[in-house]
């Protein structure tokens, strides 16, 4: 999995469930907790996400993760790139199958 795919997965997961814990998010994505923490800090430094404590929660370790407008734009761009890559892969597979069925391989 490349960095763009990882970034897209994180941004999608945050968008779908902003109140998820880092532990839950790491498990869902198949990341170690340390790797996810590093990625989240990187996304925050790039201005793609914000962290905020739950207002009235006694456990201040719980955060809400929010995509910034820049993060929403990045997620959209990454999604379009992903879809273009998959469309190209599909066309290549279709071409290979056609060549195989014609006995050219």
What are the residues whose beta carbons fall under 8 Å from the beta carbon of 44, sequence distance 6 or more? 50, 51
Tokens coding 62: 């719980």
Q: What pLDDT is recorded for position 56?
A: 60
Asked whether residue 3 carries a pLDDT value surpassing 60, the answer given is yes
- 46-73: per-residue pLDDT in tens? 999 998 876 565 655 677 898 999 999 9
- 9-50: per-residue pLDDT in tens? 999 999 999 888 899 999 999 999 999 999 999 999 999 999
CB 25 within 8 A of CB 78: no
Tokens coding 69: 């407008």
- Pairwise pLDDT comparison (51 vs 76), residue with the higher score: 76
Mean pLDDT, range 66-89, rounded to an integer? 94
| 54 phi and psi angles, rounded to 5 deg | -60, 130
pTM reported for the whole predicted model: 0.73
**Domain ranges within the chain, ordered by starting residue:** 3-101
How is domain 3-101 classified at the architecture level of CATH?
Orthogonal Bundle (1.10)
Tokens coding 63: 């955060």
DSSP, res 52 = E
Q: What pLDDT is recorded for position 39?
A: 93
């Amino acid at each position: 999995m490349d960095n763009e795919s990882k970034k897209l997965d994180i941004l999608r997961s945050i968008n779908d469930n902003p109140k998820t814990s880092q532990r839950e998010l790491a498990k869902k994505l198949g990341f170690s907790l340390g790797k996810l923490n590093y990625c989240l800090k990187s996304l925050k430094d790039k201005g793609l996400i914000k962290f905020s404590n739950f207002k009235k929660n006694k456990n201040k370790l719980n955060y809400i993760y929010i995509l910034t407008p820049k993060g929403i734009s990045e997620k959209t761009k990454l999604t379009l790139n992903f879809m273009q890559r998959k469309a190209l892969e599909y066309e290549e597979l279709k071409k290979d199958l056609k060549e195989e069925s014609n006995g050219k391989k």
